[in-house]
Structure 1
Amino acid sequence: MPSPASFLELPLLSPLAMIGRVALGGAAYLGNLGALMISAARSVFAPVGAVPPFVPTLTRQTISILAMGIPLVTLVHIGMGSFLSMQAYFGGTFVDGTGAVVGVGLIRNVAPLMTGLTLAGLLAALYTPELRGRFTQALDADPREIADRDPLPGQRAATSLSPEPARLAAVRLSAGVIAGLVLSVWGVLVGTVVGWQVAQTLLGVSTDSFFAMFLETLWIRDVAGLVIKGGAFALFAALFACHEGLSGSADTPSGPVSWAACRAACFATVATLALNSIWFLLVYHAGPAFGPTLLAPPGL
């Protein structure tokens, strides 16, 4: 009598078997992400073993992300600010609406989204290889207190510190959220200043008109969205990068490090885009779609 496995090899059932494997694998992956979040939160208050102090380690990680993220976010939002400013004029909107299109557009969607997508790639490239190659017990220790900060593969630094994987993730998740908030606000500032200068220099929009319309059409929910999405998008980027980094090692990897980093970036990007869409559906469709408007409502 044929075995149950042989039935799955039939042409009719093999696609169903593949769908089942993908569904089970996806559920297991999401479960591992949740477990990592819980264990990381626990490690902040009840770490296992001797670990480096949390705040100094968090500070070093945050500074590292900001040092690499600020140039990238600046360049992205120079382009976005100038594009939004010119689009407001050449796209058919009257000139006085430029400040609203640029400033509110950046706060409401563009700045947190573009910052989140930037961090999806940056943190995947930063965290995944770092955690895959964690051959030293003092990965997060203060480098000033270690004579040999980067030992050769297979060697270990002479220290008693031994951070557990959850602790390594906790520091990086926290640093990612803080950096995401800072970089989202920075993106708004850069994009708004660039858009203002483009509107003033090329389009003839006065400073008073630009900022008056910007503030007039700004809602509290826009500012709240900047904070919530800026932190959440960065959390996704750090979470997927840490999970991929901690799921293997340099000696016995569960796949090449480059592919692990690519998976982390892709998954974080998908999660960012999904949450961004959900936010608009739940927050802006719950009332007037886009708050104060420059144009008359349809039908009037």
Structure 2
Amino acid sequence: MDTKHIQQLTSKLQELKAEVAKVIIGQEEAVEQMLIALLANGHALLEGVPGVAKTLMVNTLAKGVDLGFNRIQFTPDLMPTDILGTEILRQGEGGKQSHFEFVQGPIFTNVLLADEINRTPPKTQAALLEAMQEKKVTYAGKDYKLDEPFFIVATQNPIEQAGTFQLPEAQLDRFLLYVKVGYLSEADELQVLLSTTTNKKAEVNAVLSKEEIKELQYLVREVSINEDLVRFVNQLIRSTRPQDSSVEEAKQSLRWGAGPRAGQALILTAKARALMNGRFAVIPEDLEAVAKPVLRHRILLNFQAIADGTTADQVIDVLFSKIELKAAVL
């Protein structure tokens, strides 16, 4: 892949951001983190109160890429077969025997929006696990490969508890990034009010093809990272484990730390961010920018920390300031 072609590909990422910005005002950090998850070939969980454009954000991103898109509205009565598909009996014709045929469910797409994922029971949530990790669906003993790229974006509401089911840790860990979608600034909210209460609708154009996204996902893994930074990532992840941590605040606040998958996620997402910014080497700022969405769902606070109002993001900030290797790499 020549340099000119790589530059053309990476420039399209800025075009995609511009297309999304036609509809999504503000929320630049959340949009960037969603794109990072796509480039790193992972999945994203968006959390925010109602009305902050979580669903619209995913719909708009899907329009900006030339990929298949499906949406599933997760409800308490949703069944695994409503996601994966099911077998139906086909009547034989011309003397042929009747046979069962697998009919693919909405998961067989490139971009899947799992809307309000915490409204469905764990049994149905678990239907996504194999697809998220292995990019395939197993039904009646047969494997059905999912088309690539395969990108799940799930949304959930943090404040509504009635009729919701907390995502198990194993499910959370399958999400590369846990993205917090907050309220807009006053200026951005004013712009939303002005631009969305008229008949004028913004048109979003697809700027990236399926093959181009696959090329970008390949390029992400080609981005270089200094071995000192890899050592820092290793030290950071190990410091989240209270039984092994050298950071006192981690021992006091955490019940459980992140596993090796967190280190892989931190490096890959930092590489994706570097590529998005036109760089082919990771710098410390890349790691710091993705640390919270990578780690906040992979560390568990203990009861005392929760009672004191400590958040996972606060613990991550402390870890970044206390790890000795950080001084060496900065």
**TM-score, scaled relative to structure 2:** 0.22
Tell me which of the two structures has the higher relative contact order, counting C-alpha pairs closer than 8 angstroms and 6 or more residues apart. Answer: 1
More strand by share: 2
Larger Rg: 1
More helix by share: 1
